[in-house]
A and B are shown apart, each in its own frame.
Chain A
């Protein structure tokens, strides 16, 4: 469904993701875990094509309009005067577009989605009046509306109470049961072990990728913590997949620049 080939993304020349490769199989449910700053959100954003990559490529097995992406909560302006129903209806944006009409069938689907996430009676409420848990339910209703084959969730249960987490997790498992591919950034190890078959453990570099039981070992987690803490301002350039160059043109210490750090460009 998604294949990642030697992906590198850097912020100001420091890699946030460093030579990551792997595959998300169709129909799989994968947790992306790792310490703060280990590149989890960056991985999702690169899959969505929202970031400039400095090397490697992401290949999608499904058209763009069949992918749904839920970013971290903080990125949406909730003071915007918008009703819950309108916000959920945005989920059909990729099929309806700028000028398409919203049919009564779509309206009925939106109301059904609102019902599914347990927000019946909230249709006319402005999104600004909702609690953050209720708003996350609205965004899940929008995901239902999108009816996507591939669903990317960035810390979907952050700051949710246990009831909301349970409800939204149940929805996620339902998507998995329907054969959709799910990739979620998570922090709760117990939750990952119980519900997510596959796990990607990141620490800017790929620590492990595979069956959750094999990835979530104490040794791997320790390695991830150690890797994530290191950030060397004077780190040498990475030459991993570069042909050997004459030493004279490359002094020992120089920044990790894109020109020197040659990869196949995906963008």
Chain B
């Protein structure tokens, strides 16, 4: 009995008890999981599942400029990333409001340009190694400053989401109703809510770029969200489920990457992918329940 407990301790808790860098990585990943995954659910509901990808590319030139100005300084790169991500989102919103292009089309155009710009900036001013570090991150390198950034972003984003939840739900479900029936003019502005929401997506992705890397941060946002939608018919349950799956993937991914000596970001996303695979099979909206013949009711 003691043997089993000891083995379990060694497998699940020991690594975190022993190493401070693993504890910091765990806190950062959990904070990110709780705040980013619900945003992912909203993205899928808005049929903008690929927007996270686009924004994560749009963040790059700002990160590059921050890097050029002050080297591998987290503050500078984060600030640059937030500015360029928001600029891209605002520009896409502006284009879709004042031209006949839809938001996804204008965003696709902008993120491609941003990606080209970002890669050019980075490769002319840094080494390949720096680029890899920025693109794929390393949870194990989170310092106290990085922890503060992630915690601050997660808190701000959860509080904002809670405060404007009703408006975001309405703007996603029935934007025409929102535009037609708000009492105050600012409440009727659908683009205002949309920009606020995109702002949350941007800061979460920027917070994620150090723990998981810009590309992997999107994974923690979208994979649990997509698989949570398979499980429930109510939005609040989907939001909670997404956060829980993201947190579970975070813990499991960190432990696996420690024991198997694999890179932490991809391992976390791999775990989220595994949860998605399981959900695809056994969840109420998944494959098995559709295949298994269940008797239907009389009415």
A interface with B by C-beta (< 8 Å): 48, 50, 64-65, 67-69, 71, 75-77, 80-83, 87, 90, 93-95, 97-99, 126, 128, 146
Contact = CB atoms under 8 A, between A and B. Distances in A.
Given A77-B173, A90-B174, A65 B181 contact: yes
A93 B182 contact: yes
Interface string B241-252: 000000000000
Interface string B39-53: 000000100000000
Tell which of A48, A77, A128 has the most Cβ of chain B within 10 Å. Answer: A77
B184 to A, nearest CB: 7
Contacts of B167: 98
Contact of A82 (B164, B173, B188): B173
A80 B233 contact: no
B233 A97 contact: no
B120 interface: no
26 contacts: A48-B179, A48-B180, A50-B176, A64-B181, A64-B182, A65-B181, A65-B182, A67-B180, A67-B181, A71-B180, A75-B176, A77-B173, A77-B174, A80-B173, A81-B235, A81-B238, A83-B234, A90-B174, A90-B177, A93-B170, A97-B183, A98-B164, A98-B166, A99-B163, A126-B233, A126-B234
Given A80-B173, A82-B173, A98-B164, A65 B183 contact: yes
Contacts of B233: 81, 126, 128
Contact of B181 (A68, A77, A87, A126): A68
B232 interface: yes
A99 B176 CA distance: 20
Contacts of A50: 176, 179-180
Contacts of A77: 45, 172-174
A121 B166 CA distance: 25
Interface in B177-204: 177-184, 187-188
Contacts of B183: 64-65, 94-95, 97
Q: Which 8 residue pairs spanning A and B have beta carbons closest together?
A: A65-B183, A69-B180, A94-B183, A81-B235, A80-B173, A126-B233, A94-B181, A71-B176
A50 B238 CA distance: 32
A81 B232 contact: yes
B166 A76 contact: no
Tell which of A64, A71, A87, A146 has the most Cβ of chain B within 10 Å. Answer: A64
Interface in B150-167: 163-164, 166-167
A69 B182 CA distance: 12
Given A48-B179, A81-B238, 11 more contacts: A64-B183, A64-B188, A67-B180, A68-B181, A69-B176, A69-B177, A80-B172, A81-B229, A81-B232, A90-B177, A94-B183
B95 to A, nearest CB: 16
Nearest to B45: A80
A247 to B, nearest CB: 33
A146 B234 CA distance: 24
A146 B181 contact: yes
Contacts of B184: 97
Contacts of A80: 45, 172-173, 235
Nearest to B235: A81
Nearest to A12: B100
Tell which of A64, A76, A93 has the most Cβ of chain B within 10 Å. Answer: A93
B187 A82 contact: no
Contact of A81 (B180, B182, B234): B234
B280 to A, nearest CB: 18
Contacts of A98: 163-164, 166-167, 187
A83 B184 CA distance: 26
Nearest to A79: B45
B234 A76 contact: no
A140 to B, nearest CB: 14
A102 to B, nearest CB: 10
A77 to B, nearest CB: 6
Contacts of B172: 77, 80
Tell which of B163, B170, B180 has the most Cβ of chain A within 10 Å. Answer: B180
Given A64-B183, A81-B238, A82-B235, A90 B170 contact: yes
A75 B232 CA distance: 24
Given A50-B176, A71-B176, A80-B172, A93 B181 contact: yes
